[in-house]
Amino acid sequence: MYSAAAAASAGPPRRDFISITLGLEEAVGVAGYNNSKAWRRRSCWRKWKQLSRLQRSVILFLFAFLAVCGVISYTNAGEVWKSIRNKSFDDQRTEQEIPRLKLANPAVIPAPLKAGANREDYPELSLQKPPKLPHVRRGPPNLQIKAPRRDMRLKSRHDTMRAVEELVEVDKVEKTEKSVISWRGAVIEPDRSTEPLSSKMIQAEKPSSVEAEDQKELVPINERQLAVIEAFRHAWKGYKDFAWGHDELKPLSKSYSEWFGLGLTLIDALDTMWILGLKEEFEEAREWVANDLVFDKNVDVNLFESTIRILGGLLSTYHLSGDSLFLEKAKDIGYRLMPAFMTPSKIPYSDVNIGRGTAHPPRWTSDSTVAEVTSIQLEFRELSRLTGDEKFKKAVDEVMKHVHTLSGKNDGLVPMFINTNSGQFTHLGVYTLGARADSYYEYLLKQWIQGGKKENELLEDYMRAIEGVKKHLLQRSEPKKLTFVGELAHGHFSAKMDHLVCFLPGTLALGAHNGLAADHMKLAEALIETCYQMYTQVETGLSPEIAHFNLHAQEGHKDVEIKPADRHNLLRPETVESLFYMYRFTGDKKYQDWGWEILQNFNRYTRVPTGGYTSINNVQNPSNPEPRDKMESFFLGETLKYMFLLFSDDIDLINLDKYIFNTEAHPLPIWVPA
Ligand code: DMJ
């Protein structure tokens, strides 16, 4: 309003915006606001008006340009500032956390978990920097097992190329994830492995080997180990394609069989995958355990078999991986198996319905098998240690104490059956180191070692039993004079030896390694030779289920004879298991060579092209070994695991001074004294 009037009285027409401004200035001046600032503004304005249009445009352009630059640099400065602020926050955090992270693991590894705890409960994990990959929380973190290395010297032999290529793939996957997960590769530090076992039961325990020692020199995987990895993958392919989540693969009919309906093969194989470094397979199996393994089922399971395979498998996988999922599942099955001990004698029944919580003996008898009731101790004792719930240990210790006092033994050798009502041995007079008694002897020694070599009754029973073996069961065959372990039935010696007995050389060697009589080692050496001959004297190079030894030299006869009913091979582990112990304790390469021959013969006669391996009916017929169409879970749980360990030169790949294998080859920690 004002400016328009002023413009009208000011003479020649001017551009509107100038007129308006002037009018305003005039108005302000009229109002008496006339200080030097206003004057300076007016004088600047006059100068501006004196400039040409081109000059004004250049100046405006320069202003605009400077303004844009100003905005850009402001934004950058903001980012830099932000990062400086964050960095200083990170630095503070790192300073406080370095000691803790170092303790947990020098690589970026989830911290060890307390039993029953979830990883999510550990806020410091989320502070660790790179956890972007989806598997970081549950991925196998570390171990005393070395990851395959790129500097492995691989021979380019044609028959191992495929295995090599596959391994390179594994290595690639590992490489991409290395920044997040240290997949295997550490040793348990003795002071970390376990708490002492006190009479007052132990507080919740952390897994033994989650804390790693990444500094240790890595031992390269060799060609034979690669062949085992290849064999495992082939077996796993069959299981995955045709039997996923079921108990056993039937590789020929491309289907499966159920025993307990609990994914037996998958659970049995978990720690093998870990040890072999098969990360993808492990992850997939872990998903199945997390989402599909349910024990609340109306199903009868055998106490012994489900303890050694399922409970043992879950506990060892928990120890190796540090993943609390496996401990939770172990607890679940552990509690569900406890009704088996509710018998008049406290000697457990053979069968338990894990959904209903009921237990019973087999239909035809109230007896249990001696090996079964005395070979569940390592697992239940460990479960007590981990959970702090004494009842598991109490139940199984009571069985051992009771058996310790029983009459009916023969120089430490036990009969095969025990009655769940009376608690007495039955079917007296038959003594074997084979089926139904075998792992009683194995667990005497192993419990003694597990508990820190303090439980003297166990040692006494073991030492007495080995004396009993020497006195009653050892004989030499002809023509090679092989030392073998026969059987005694009511005073009559039988020159019959189950393949199952081939666990004995390994157990004897383990005892000798733990300070027991040196002649145990001598016996172990003789017996492992015999077990090897049970393979090498047979047409396929695979052992029969039962061998009969010739006690008298006969023209054209070897030491090993096989009866038609005994000439099957179930892919059993015992010989390879003992070869592993023998190699570990002697370093004699012949044991590795023998194992290598056995692996090649498994590949020759039991491998099914479409995936999996099969038991066979006739080890004496190389042109038709008569496949049985079944892959036992222990082939993955035990046989291939022991092969892999046998071929390794890394004594820290499951260090035998830190771990004790259960009878299904699942390593559990040896309790370390305080
Ligand atoms: C496995 O289940 C165990 O090794 C058990 O102690 C004996 N039988 C099989 C393997 O042969």
* pLDDT digits 0-9 by tens, 8-27: 333 333 333 333 333 333 33
How close is the Cα of 623 to the center of ligand 1, in Å?
28
Catalytic positions, please? Answer: 305, 438, 545, 574
* φ and ψ at residue 561, rounded to 5 degrees: -115, 150
Q: Which of 376, 568, 572 to mutate to test the pocket of ligand 1 (most atoms within 8 A of CB)?
A: 572
Query: Residue 376: enclosing H or E segment and its boundaries?
Result: none
Contact 603, 229 (CB under 8 A): no
User: Are the CB atoms for 117 and 327 separated by under 8 Å?
Assistant: no
Q: What is the rounded CA–CA span in Å between residue 440 and residue 624?
A: 36
- What is the C-alpha to C-alpha distance for residues 382 and 122, in angstroms, rounded to an integer? 25
Evaluate whether 580 touches 592 at the Cβ level (below 8 Å).
no
411: left (phi > 0), else alpha (psi -120 to 50), else beta? Answer: left
Q: Tell me how far the alpha carbon of residue 217 lies from the centroid of ligand 1, in angstroms.
A: 34
**Shortest-distance atom of ligand 1 to CA 577:** 4
**Pairing outcome for strands 417-419 and 255-257:** unpaired
Q: What angle do CA 651, 654, 660 make, to 5 degrees?
A: 120
Residues 6+ apart with CB under 8 A from 255: 242, 243
Q: At what angle do helices 223-242 and 640-647 cross, to 10 degrees?
A: 160
Q: 3-state SS string over 432-494?
A: CCCCCCHHHHHHHHHHHHHCCCCCHHHHHHHHHHHHHHHHHHEEECCCCCCEEECEEECCEEE
CA separation (Å) from 491 to 410, 434, 469, 474, 494?
A: 11, 17, 14, 14, 10
Q: What 3 state SS string does 120-173 have?
A: HHCHHHHHCCCCCCCCCCCCCCCCCCCCCCCCCCCCCCHHHHHHHHHHHHHHHH
Which residue has the CA at smallest separation from atom 6 of ligand 1?
663
- Say what the pLDDT of residue 53 is: 75
574 Cα nearest atom in ligand 1: 11
What's the CA angle centered on 496, arms 537 and 403, to 5 degrees? Answer: 130
Residue 68 CA, ligand 1 centroid: distance in Å: 78
* Pocket, ligand 1, Cβ cutoff 6 A: 439, 500, 572-573, 634, 638, 663-664
Q: Calculate the alpha carbon distances from 582 to 440, 513, 595, 625 in Å.
A: 21, 10, 11, 30
Q: Quick check: 260 and 247 in contact, CB under 8 A?
A: yes
For residue 102, the CA-to-ligand 1 centroid distance in Å is 40
In angstroms, the CA 151 to CA 164 distance is 13
Query: Which residue matches tokens 């609340």?
Result: 296
Confidence at residue 674, expressed as pLDDT on a 0 to 100 scale: 57
In the chain, what is the greatest distance between 2 CA atoms, to the nearest angstrom? 145
pLDDT on residue 244: 98
| Strand, helix or coil for residue 55 | helix
Pocket probe mutation, ligand 1, options 260, 376, 433, 439, max atoms within 8 Å of Cβ: 439
Which is nearest to 600 in space by CA: 238, 160, 156?
A: 160
CA of 439, closest atom in ligand 1: 6
CA of 439 to the centre of ligand 1 (A): 9
Distance CA 324, CA 312 (A): 15
In the block, tokens 């169409």 appear at 629
Task: Name the residue of 376, 445, 500 whose CB sits within 8 Å of the most ligand 1 atoms, as the mutation to test its pocket.
Answer: 500
DSSP helix/strand/coil, 496: strand
Atom of ligand 1 nearest to the CA of 375: 6
Q: Two tokens at 49?
A: 């008006």
Q: Are 615 and 570 in contact (CB under 8 A)?
A: yes
How far does residue 637's CA lie from ligand 1's centre (Å)? Answer: 10
Sheet of 351-353, strands arranged across? 300-302, 351-353, 358-360
Per-residue model confidence (pLDDT) at position 57:
73
Count how many residues are written for the chain: 674
Q: Compute the distance from residue 132 Cα to the ligand 1 centre, in Å.
A: 42
Q: Which residues contact residue 649 at a Cβ distance below 8 angstroms, ignoring those fewer than 6 apart?
A: 219, 222
DSSP 558-619: -SEE--GGG--B----HHHHHHHHHHHHH--THHHHHHHHHHHHHHHHTB-TTS-B--BS-T
Query: Pairing relation of β-strands 417-419 and 483-485?
Result: unpaired
Distance 663 CA to ligand 1 centre (A): 6
The pair phi, psi for residue 358, each rounded to 5°, is -120, 160
Phi, psi of 623 (to 5 degrees): -80, -25
Residue type, 283: E
pLDDT at 56: 73
- How far, in Å, from the CA of 573 to the mean position of ligand 1? 8
Tokens of 377: 């101790």
Pocket test for ligand 1, best of 574, 636, 639, 666 (most atoms within 8 A of CB): 574
Taking the mean position of all CA atoms in its chain, how far away is CA 195? Answer: 21
Rounded CA gap, 521 and 536, in Å? 22
Cα–Cα distance between 35 and 582 in angstroms, integer?
106
Q: Rounded to the nearest whole angstrom, what is the distance from the C-alpha of residue 436 to the centroid of ligand 1? A: 11
Atom index in ligand 1 nearest the CA of residue 442 equals: 6
Please list the ranges in the chain whose pLDDT falls under 70: 1-50, 67-216, 674
Q: What is the pLDDT of residues 432-455, one digit of tens each?
A: 999 999 999 999 999 999 999 999
Ligand 1 centre distance from Cα of residue 581 (Å): 17
| 586 annotated ligand binder | no
Pick from 272, 308, 615 the residue to mutate for probing ligand 1's pocket: most ligand atoms within 8 Å of its CB: 308
- d(CA 431, CA 583) in angstroms, rounded, equals 29
Name all domains of the chain by residue range, CATH numbers in brackets: 226-264+361-669 (1.50.10.10)
The answer to whether residues 452 and 510 touch, using CB atoms and an 8 Å cutoff, is: no
Under 8 Å between Cβ of 271 and 320: yes
Cβ-based burial of 507 (10 A; exposed 0-12, middle 13-18, buried ≥19)? buried
Q: How far apart are CA 524 and CA 8, in angstroms?
A: 124
Tell the residue nearest (CA) to atom 3 of ligand 1.
664
Q: How far apart are the first and last CA of the chain?
A: 97
